[in-house]
Structure formats: structure tokens, C-alpha cells
């Protein structure tokens, strides 16, 4: 019989392996960003899927995504391609590209109204280095987080 090498960790070991604190792991579980561990009696075991998910969460946070959007992206519970494209744009995959608000809407498939809501929620904000938020105009340059957006 061949032995199978299964990677599994207790919570402290997972925290060290993934670069987050034990409290953060528990917080993510409460927010349902991370699945509960397998249990053997009183011992909780975390596997590679937990570690990989924690690393992905850290990556997406580093790109500026809030936890609620990270959860939607990772769970695939988003409302179709529009969320995925928006998440990609907000995550910085299009970083360094200046776009008008209308161009951002066109590239992501998200309506200008939704972009307005994201702006109001603080997920997109005016760039500080250009004249922006011109009344009635959406022609000034913008870019996605973390560089932010202007109208």
C-alpha cells in the first residue's frame, strides 16, 4: 500500500504558512471567506485548499479589493461576467491605463450608474493629480484602483 502525503496544518501552522494571523483566519471563517477545517476529535485540520485561498485573499486585498467583493469573486457568486470584469479592473489588472468613466464602463461591462455607486461607496475615487469630477462631463481621465478614477 502506497502512502499518500497529505499536507495539513493546525491553525497556528496555517497562519505561519500563509502569512496571516490566527485571528485573521478566524475572522475570515466568520465572514465565510474561508471554509471550516476538518475535525478529528478536538483537533482542527486545515489543508492546501485553505492555504491557497488565504494566499489568494491576500493577493486580492493587495490589489485593493474589499473583502465583500473578494468573497464574491472567490465563490463565483458574482452576477455573471460583469462582476468578474469589474473585479479584474478594480484589482488593478488594468492599472496604469487612464480611462474615462464611460471607457471604464465599456471595458468592464458595468454601467456608468454602477460606477457612480462604487464611487459613492469609496471603491473608486477621484485621482488627485488631475482636474476631476467635472459637472456634467465624463471626459476627464480616470483609472482603476489603486490609482483610482475620475470622471
Q: Convert the pLDDT of each residue in 112-139 to its tens digit.
A: 887 877 777 667 765 554 433 333 334 4
Angle at which helix 112-120 crosses helix 101-108, to 10 degrees, equals 110
pLDDT digits (tens, 9 = 90+) for 55-103: 999 988 888 888 988 888 887 655 556 666 666 665 554 455 567 778 8
pLDDT for the residue 119: 74
Q: What is the pTM assigned to this prediction? A: 0.54
For 8-62, give the CATH class: mainly alpha
pLDDT at 44: 96
Please tell me the predicted confidence (pLDDT) of residue 68. Answer: 86
CB 74 within 8 A of CB 53: yes
Amino acid at each position: 500500500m502506497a502512502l499518500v502525503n497529505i499536507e495539513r496544518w493546525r491553525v497556528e501552522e496555517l497562519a505561519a504558512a500563509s502569512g496571516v494571523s490566527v485571528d485573521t483566519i478566524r475572522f475570515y471563517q466568520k465572514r465565510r471567506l474561508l471554509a471550516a477545517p476538518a475535525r478529528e476529535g478536538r483537533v482542527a485540520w486545515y489543508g492546501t485548499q485553505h492555504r491557497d485561498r488565504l494566499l489568494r485573499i491576500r493577493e486580492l486585498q493587495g490589489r485593493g479589493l474589499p473583502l465583500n467583493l473578494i468573497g464574491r469573486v472567490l465563490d463565483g457568486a458574482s452576477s455573471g461576467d460583469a462582476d468578474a470584469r469589474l473585479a479584474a479592473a478594480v484589482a488593478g489588472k488594468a492599472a496604469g491605463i487612464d480611462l474615462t468613466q464611460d471607457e471604464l464602463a465599456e471595458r468592464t461591462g458595468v454601467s456608468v450608474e454602477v460606477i457612480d455607486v462604487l464611487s459613492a461607496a469609496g471603491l473608486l475615487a477621484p485621482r488627485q493629480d488631475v482636474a476631476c469630477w467635472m459637472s456634467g462631463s465624463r471626459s476627464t481621465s480616470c483609472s482603476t484602483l489603486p490609482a483610482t478614477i475620475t470622471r
